[in-house]
Amino acid sequence: MGFLAGVVSEINRQEDAATRASEFMQQLLEKRKNAILPELMGRIKARTDKATSRAARVSKAMSFNISKEAASVLESAGQLENVLIPLQKLNDDTDKSISDDNIAALNAAVIKNVAPEKVAAAITYALDNGYAENPSSDLLIEAIYANTEEDFEAALTPLMERASAPGKASPDMTTLSGEGFRINPRSLTGVSDKANASAKKLIESQVAGFLGIEYMGTEGYKWADAPSAAAVMNKLTNVYVNQMTDVMIQRDSNDVINNLSQNLYTILSSGSSIKDVSNLEENIFLNPTEFLNNNRNKDPEIPDQDTGDTTSAEEEMRRALEKYKL
């Protein structure tokens, strides 16, 4: 082999070695890509999916006229799904309708005790769309098509930061996420006339004996003071409906009726007439304590005194003691 041929052979050998080395490094790079990129993108996708689901639930709630603020607070407290399930059932039931008034009450009740800054934090958390604000897809493309370790590392570093970031944390909604916080499904739909009449009949069966009934033989009975009794019944029914459709508290109907019945009995036993009771504010039937205390503390009416003799009982007693030297 001549000198020139030897030089060419050595050059070819070195080129082959460089090619093999380059191919080897490319294989290593591809192996790194295949091992790392799916894991990173899986993490990013999981977080993005969670964020997308949160935003979707808030959007669904807003379609039922729940405010963005209330929906976000409920989502942050982990309670929005509990509201959406009965709402969707009501929406699908052709015989029922969702009460706009009760939805408005829900909106007010949810944010009533939540500080404005927490409401703002809840909106940010609930509507955070994960990595949408970060060009993760562009970085992924750069990482996939990187031809060198340097290019791959340059694209990989921000991807790893995004995959490792904890994301926006849910604000503390302890007051809403406690065991006692449950949206009352009955509060989401209005009370029908039929349900209202049934409630009134049920209450009447409990309190009829307190409202001055008069038996009429085969005709049953009638109220001794029909207008007053009817007014009391209407107020008791209103209180019952309000209690049973409370947004935040789900109550047992028997407990509510028994409580109203007992309070009515207590009020009447204090000396109030049925007519007096018919003029009371509805909230007194829920808690008559203040009313009873006020009645108890009223000064008794003092009859007109006979001006012919102004001698007091104390003065008469003093004179008698002096007279008999006692």
Domains of the chain by residue range: 3-186, 191-297
pLDDT at 3 (0 to 100): 57
pLDDT at 61 (0 to 100): 95
For 61-84, b where at least 16 C-beta lie within 10 A, e where not — what string?
beebebbbbbbbbbbbbebbeebb
Which two three-digit tokens encode residue 70?
Answer: 């209330």
CB 223 within 8 A of CB 236: no
Chain segment 202-261, per-residue pLDDT in tens = 888 888 888 887 655 566 667 788 899 999 999 999 999 889 888 878 888 889 999 999
Q: How far apart are CA 97 and CA 99, in angstroms?
A: 6
CB 236 within 8 A of CB 277: no
CB 109 within 8 A of CB 100: no
Chain segment 110-146, per-residue pLDDT in tens = 888 788 999 999 998 898 755 444 556 777 788 888 8
Q: 318 to each of 22, 305, 306, 315, 326, how far by Cα in Å?
A: 127, 21, 21, 5, 10
Burial class (CB in 10 A: 0-12, 13-18, 19+), 241: middle
Q: How far apart are CA 43 and CA 37, in angstroms?
A: 10
CB 239 within 8 A of CB 285: yes
pLDDT at 91 (0 to 100): 87
Q: How far apart are CA 59 and CA 127, in angstroms?
A: 9
Which residue numbers in the chain have pLDDT < 50? 131-133, 179-180, 299-314, 316-326
Which two three-digit tokens encode residue 143?
Answer: 């990482």
Q: Residue 215: phi, psi to the nearest 5?
A: -75, 140
3-class DSSP assignment, residue 98? strand
Q: Residue 130: phi, psi to the nearest 5?
A: 70, -115
pLDDT at 301 (0 to 100): 42
Helix (H) or strand (E) holding 215: strand 213-215
